[in-house]
Amino acid sequence: MYAYALKRLIQGVVTVWFIATATFIAMHSVPGDPLLNERGVNEEIRRNLEERYGLDRPIFDQYLIYMSNMVKGDFGISFTQQNRSVNDIIREHFPVSAALGVLAIVFAGLGGVLWGALTALYRNRLPDVIVMFLVILGISVPSFVIAALSQLALVGLNGFVGFSVLPVAGWGSILHMLIPSLVLGLGTMAFLTRLMRSSMLEIVNADFIRTAYSKGLPPTRVFIKHQLRNAILPVITVLGPAIAAITTGGFVVELVFAIPGLGRFFVQAVQQLDYTVIMGTTVFYGAFLVFMVIAVDLLYGLIDPRVRLK
């Protein structure tokens, strides 16, 4: 177990190192010049700027500086927002994204398990048909479309009621988080529902369920203690990819709902070619995702004793 965890961690570190290097190479192969936008820069100012950002050094030196700074946890200064360090940007905006993401995961997880169990219980009857239709819809409609449509619906609702029931966009209170996180979690919820349903159906006819019934357990107890607990395991395995999906899905939802999260900043930085911010946030996101997946895998080993991690 510990050997396995150590191995996965080392693998994760190597992956993050590769992400950092690839980001560096990608940024340096971009055609153009980061100082191109500075209007009317004469030679001297240009040289000063290059010196300040370290652009006058050989590329390998730049790489070493970049790596050593990154190991120290310093991502540098933003190119477009003067005097704002990338660390500040991450520190300020990541909690917003994280709050949104955690709520979305909670929605997706609870919803997926609940709906999946429900559809399995009512298999091929009306609730099953309705929910599975919605699930297929949820898998097929892109998140930005759902986000935009829910915004339209909110505008309509607020107009109909006559006062603002739920804010259409922005950030601040728990009310602002409700609809965006629901939208963000919807695709994952649909996916988890499908998974939960099939894993429930697989278990319904298992021997230990029959045993549980035959020893006289009440159906609710069988449902909660035997069916649900066993069926939930596959849902936990896909939680890693689900976190990744929700993190990247956050880019779009934050953009549509005007939420000041890191995802929106990342997209803006990409559009404005803000080199340091792109590099910093990419490595940050990359590391976050890689270690999240590892954490979920290790967690799975703890929860399910049948899984031997090696």
Contacts with another protein by CB under 8 A lie at 11-12, 14-15, 18-19, 22-23, 25-27, 29-32, 124, 136-137, 139-145, 148, 151-152, 155, 159, 162, 198, 201-202, 244, 248, 251-252, 255-256, 267, 270-271, 273, 278, 282, 285-286, 289-290, 293
The CA-based angle 45-24-41, given to 5 degrees, is 15
The values of phi and psi at residue 225, to 5°, are: -80, -30
Q: How far is the CB of 201 from another protein (least distance, A)?
A: 6
**C-beta of 245: minimal distance to another protein in Å?**
9
CB of 282 to another protein, least distance (A): 5
Residue with smaller CB distance to another protein, 155 or 216: 155
Give the Cβ contact number of residue 180 at 10 Å. 27
Cα 47 from Cα 206, distance rounded (Å): 73
User: Residue 242 in contact with residue 191, Cβ under 8 Å?
Assistant: yes
Calpha distance 230→245 (Å, rounded)? 25
Q: Which is nearer to another protein, 198 or 217 (CB)?
A: 198
**Number of neighbouring beta carbons within 10 Å of residue 71:** 10
Which CB atom, from 59 or from 110, has the smaller least distance to another protein?
A: 59
Cβ 176 to another protein, closest distance in Å?
Answer: 19
CA-angle at 74, arms to 32 and 299, nearest 5°: 110
Q: Give CB contacts under 8 A, 24+ apart, made by 11-14.
A: 11/294, 12/290, 12/291, 12/294
Measured from the CB of residue 183, what is the shortest distance to another protein in angstroms?
13
> For residues 267 and 299, which CB has a smaller minimum distance to another protein in the complex?
267
Q: Which is nearer to another protein, 183 or 293 (CB)?
A: 293
